[in-house]
Amino acid sequence: MSLVFAGVCSHAPGIVGRKDRADPVLRDGLYAAFERMRLAIEAARPDALVVIAAEHFANFFMNNMPAICMGMGEHYEGPIEDEAWLGIKRTRVPGDAQLSKALIEEVMNDIDLAYAQEWKFDHGISVPLHFLTPRYDLPVIPVNINCQGPPLIPLKRCYEFGRALRRACAALPQRIAVIGTGGISHWPATPDSGRINEAWDRAFLDKFIGNRREELLAYKDEQTWREAGQGGFEIRTFIAVAGAAEGHTGEVWFYAPIPIFAVGCTIAVMRLRHEDE
């Protein structure tokens, strides 16, 4: 198996951009968890990092909205946001076009991917990379799951995408790390911005680290919208990671609602190397 790491993390722009306005104890706890994740990825010695994110109209619009798109560029740019506002400098991030192509060809046996030979990262990818590959020295392969413009891909297909990605990794010689970024409950860019449903988040995370497929796929968008906001649609990225880590469980390394970051900040990692089910 050449999938060597699987985890999830938050990507809210406030995490870096508004870091001085957060409770320092919570913030430092989150940052420490990001650092622990960085070291865990490093220890897994990946050749590339697949980032399954949910972007916010950076590259994709309803004139051609892919359910799932994978990057096939030699390099990428980001973040698109104002550098001072996001707290992250714009940079070029290395890709691996050959590896992307090999992954896309494998995954296409089961999942009808769009592909993109260029890609501008927004905070959905740039915030995680800021913590996890701060020197931008690990090739990144971006993936987007449409969580913004309905019709949205059903959750079961997100899980299937994860499984297909795992099979593709197994078929290739490279060592590949994957992270999902997004959610969990939040109401970004709406009058309810800052609201967080901690109970909902903890219940979801419990199902996620237990990798309880049926329970994960039982969520319905209508209910998610009511209880977890439209930002809750981003659970699709977590569910894809659960699919990639099928048969494995994980643990939550950090969870805390941080209102100024407008999301329940999350770091969770699947234990891939120890068959524990």
Return d(Cα 237, Cα 52) in angstroms, integer: 6
How many residues can be counted in the chain?
A: 277
* Pairing relationship of beta strands 48-53 and 140-145 according to DSSP bridges: parallel
Residue among 109 and 190 whose Cβ is closer to another protein: 190
CA pair distance 72, 99, nearest whole angstrom: 8
> What are the residues binding another protein (CB under 8 A)?
56-58, 61-63, 73, 80, 117-118, 148-150, 188-193, 195, 222, 225-226, 229-230
Q: Which is nearer to its own copies, 40 or 108 (CB)?
A: 108
> Applying CB under 8 A, does 129 fall inside the site for its own copies?
no
The residue from 67, 184, 205, 217 that contacts its own copies (CB under 8 A) is 67
Beta-bridge mates of residue 76: 93
Give yes or no for residue 222 binding its own copies (CB under 8 A). no
Q: Which residue has the tokens 């896309």?
A: 104
Distance of CA 114 to the CA centre of its chain: 18
Residue among 44 and 80 whose Cβ is closer to another protein: 80
Q: Is 98 in the site for its own copies (CB under 8 A)?
A: no
CB closer to its own copies out of 67 and 88: 67
Q: How far apart are CA 40 and CA 50, in angstroms?
A: 15
Least spacing, CB of residue 164 vs its own copies, in Å: 10
Among 44, 65, 80, 97, binds its own copies (CB under 8 A): 65
Other CB atoms within 10 A of residue 251 CB: 12
Q: How far is the CB of 42 from its own copies (least distance, A)?
A: 31
